[in-house]
Amino acid sequence: MSRNTGKRCLLHTCCAPCASYVLEYLTPQYDCTLFFYNPNISTKLEYDKRLDELFRYNKDAGFNADIIDGGYDGNIFENAVIGLEDAPERGPRCDICFRLRLAKTAELASDFDLFATTLTVSPHKNTTQINTIGASFEKYLPSDFKKNNGYKRSIELSKQYNLYRQNFCGCRYSVNSCGQRPPVFSRGSLTCS
């Protein structure tokens, strides 16, 4: 691992489990600030659970990184995907979702040396799709954090810190594609989208 360069990285963060390994990987190289911006999350309750868990993990793991809450407004995502309700996972609806989140992160990245996203740690997300969108913004750090056992390490850290792991990305369409309702808050579940 490289020594911390003193460069500042704004890290778009979708949830604590995905942030766990990515923070472990990036903080030796960069001073990271976490940006929790996820308008795709279908309910305020789920949004708050994920944000609270991020704060808890950040503190308990000793990172103590600054966290910026982008605020909850599910209408942003819902309005952006009108007409794509039946689109498959990893399709055009996901393109819009990734673009919304990365564009907002890029807006805030003007005071940072670069920005990245935890989204690429998940094997359920298309890394090429995410990095192609990210590359359209200045200062984007392309990544595939699931490589080199990154996803496996995120599972280990989730178990170690008893993190809430969800089995859907947060949007109501991903819940519907799994044929299930949003899960009740619980710690230690082994699946994450």
Query: Is residue 90 very low, low, confident or very high in pLDDT (cuts 50, 70, 90)?
Result: confident
In a domain, 189, yes or no: no
192 — pLDDT class (breaks 50, 70, 90): very low
Structure tokens at 118: 């935890």
Query: Average pLDDT of 6-17?
Result: 96
CATH of the domain at 142: 3.40.50.620
185 occurs within a structural domain:
no
Residue 33, in any domain of the structure: yes
- Residues 6+ positions from 69 with CB-CB distance below 8 Å: 36, 51
Secondary structure (H, E, C), 88-103: CCCCHHHHHHHHHHHH
pTM tops 0.85: yes
Q: Write out the two tokens for 75.
A: 């209408």
Domains identified in the chain, total number = 1
For residue 192, is it within any domain?
Answer: no
Q: Which domain holds residue 145?
A: 8-178
Q: What is the pLDDT of residue 5?
A: 76
Token pair belonging to 77: 């995502």
**Which of 8-17, 88-97, 176-185 has maximum average pLDDT?**
8-17
Q: Indicate the Cα dihedral angle 31, 54, 123, 90, nearest 10°.
A: -100
Residue 91 in domain = yes
- Which region among 51-55, 62-66, 109-113, 164-168 has the lowest average model confidence (pLDDT)? 164-168
Residue 16 lies inside a defined structural domain of this protein: yes
In a domain? residue 151: yes
Please report whether residue 188 resides in a domain: no
Q: To the nearest whole number, what is the mean pLDDT of the chain?
A: 86
